[in-house]
Structure 1
Amino acid sequence: MRGVTTQSDDYGRHNLFEDSGYHDAVDGGTALSEPEDRLGYDEGRTPQWHGGLSFGLLIMRLVLGGTLGAHGLQKVFGLWGGPGISEFSRILGDQGYTSQLTVLSWVGGVTEIAGGALLIFGLFTPAAAAALLSVTANAVYLKYQAGFFLGSGGGFEYHLVLGGIALALLFTGPGGISIDTNTPWRHRPVPFGIVGLILAAGAVVAVTFLFRR
């Protein structure tokens, strides 16, 4: 009869919720009442395991941290055919920077190496993501006049994608496969993400005004 709910219907919906991967059963299998708990926290504020989400965030961290970390090693040590500090300083001069080019080269390269390594391990994730966001945002600022697509003019699409990953990680946190698992920024990523976003924007402004006189 229409409008009548049977016990079998309730049982089916309950199993469907459990099978979704976003349910932690406690107290004999009853669903948790707090929405936050359904996203992966028990009453003791301990992050719970959600394999798909944690693995997806790990992939994002490895891609971003590995890519920019490798670019940092190219800039600082000249690995894999990279420019090294001297040549990178010259490149920065060609891009419009006029002050303390060697210092800026070291800052940029070390930021990519350190931020990339921290992100790979999931350690101090908000700081690492904010640092890499500032690097990629600055690259987008330098290249936006060349257009969106890479092509022969060197557009900003590549750096925009990397910056988007960094921005996302600021607000998602590192996931369960990380050293940061039991940290405040894993429990409450949004406030730390907002702070990281502000710091990243400040870093871009500071680099622009200090090194592009």
Structure 2
Amino acid sequence: MTSSKDDYGRRNYFEDSGYFEAADDDTKLSEPEDRLGAEDGRSPQWHSGLSFGLLILRLVLGGTLGVHGLQKVFGLFDGPGIGDFSQILGDQGYTSQTTLLSWLGGVTEIAGGALLVLGLFTPAAAAALLAVTANAVYLKHRAGFFLGDGNGFEYHLVLAGLALALLFTGPGGISVDTNTPWRRRPLPFGIVGLVLAAGAVVAVTLLFRR
């Protein structure tokens, strides 16, 4: 014999995934953390565990790549700077406009990292950082998975995985994007971001690796 609560759970399993389009926005909460907050009397914009976990992911990914961008563009933290980084790109097989590509990569990491830390325009920031890290995975895949002497792609794969996850989860409640459509309906924005990131990787490969 099952309780009404069990029946409710089965009927609403798909709805509780966070990707269910509610027929009446006034009566159904779309975001899992919103529903969890509403059920225990807290603000529908806040569920401490999930929101805090997503904040950690954003800080780790955005902070890490943001610092790498500062190394590339300004030479901070013993970084190469634009001149040396363009030479590194040339050694990795890029044959066209390496200085321009250095600026694009560095500025993307700085801007995308800063936006992700703030939780502002999160789908765009996550897509941009996904493109950068996926391109790095593509460059290093022939060297093998493990870092070893620094040529493996495992590190970049982890960062790409974080960017991909944030693309589909949204920023969480501790963010500037709290009341935005892409936080409440992350799936369509995530799909668009994934397509744009893939397109960026293809474009960089075709334009700068002749």
Q: Which TM-score band (shorter chain)?
A: 0.7 to 0.9
Change (3 A) 1:37 1:108: closer
CA contact under 8 A between 2:31 and 2:184: conserved in structure 1?
no
For 2:140 and 2:209, locate their aligned partners in 1 and report how far apart those are by CA, in whole Å. Answer: 15
Q: Is the Cα contact below 8 Å between 2:51 and 2:174 reproduced in 1? A: yes
- 4+ aligned runs moved over 3 Å, structure 1: 33-39
Q: Aligned match of 1:84 in 81, 84, 90?
A: 81
Residue by residue, what CA displacement relative to the aligned partner does 1:28-72 show, whole Å, maximum 9, x if unpaired?
Answer: xxxxx8573654156xxx953100000000000000000000000
Question: How many Å separate the matches in 2 of 1:126 and 1:176?
Answer: 15
Greater radius of gyration (CA): 1
The RMSD of aligned alpha carbons is 2.2
1:140 matched residue in structure 2:
137
Aligned residues of 1:143 and 1:156 also touching (Cα < 8 A):
yes
Change (3 A) 1:75 1:35: same
Distance 1:88 1:67 in 2: 18
Give the Cα separation in 2 of the matches to 1:114 and 1:143: 24
Are 1:40 and 2:34 counterparts? Answer: yes
Aligned length: 184
Pair 185,4 (structure 1): closer, same or farther in 2 beyond 3 Å: closer
Flag the 1:37–1:115 CA change in 2: closer, same or farther, 3 A: closer
1:151 to 141, 148, 155: 148
Q: Distance in 2 between matches of 1:37 and 1:125?
A: 16
Distance 1:157 1:170 in 2: 20
Q: Normalization by structure 1: what TM-score? A: 0.81
The one-letter code sitting in structure 2 at the alignment partner of 1:152 is D
Q: Percent of counterpart pairs with the same letter?
A: 78
Q: Tell me, which stretches of 5 or more residues in structure 1 are unaligned?
A: 11-21, 23-32
Q: In the alignment, what sits opposite 2:96?
A: 99
Amino acid at match of 1:70: V
- Distance, in Å, in 2 between the alignment partners of 1:139 and 1:74 is 16
8 Å contact kept, 2:45–2:178: no
Which position in structure 1 is the counterpart of 2:54?
57
More moved, 169-178 vs 148-157: 148-157
Unaligned runs of 5+ in 2: 6-15, 17-26
Q: Is the 8 A contact 1:129 1:167 kept in 2?
A: yes
Show CA shifts across 1:2-53 (max 9, x none).
x597xxxx8xxxxxxxxxxx9xxxxxxxxxx8573654156xxx95310000
2-structure distance, mates of 1:107, 1:37: 34
**Residue of structure 2 aligned with 1:181, choices 178, 183, 190:** 178
SS of equivalent residue, structure 1 residue 36? coil
Change (3 A) 1:136 1:37: closer
TM-score normalised per structure 2: 0.82
1:146 and 1:153 in contact (8 A); partners too: no
Matches of 2:2 and 2:127, distance apart in 1? 53
Matched with 1:25 is none
Q: Aligned partners of 1:4, 1:185: CA distance in 2, in Å?
A: 37
Counterparts of 1:155 and 1:34, CA distance in 2: 46
Q: Deviations over 1:60-87 (max 9, x none)?
A: 0000000000000000000010000000
Amino acid at match of 2:191: I
Aligned residue among 187, 190, 194 for 1:193? 190
The answer to whether the Cα contact below 8 Å between 1:47 and 1:182 also exists between their aligned partners in 2 is no
Task: Please tell me the residue identity of whatever aligns with 1:114.
Answer: A
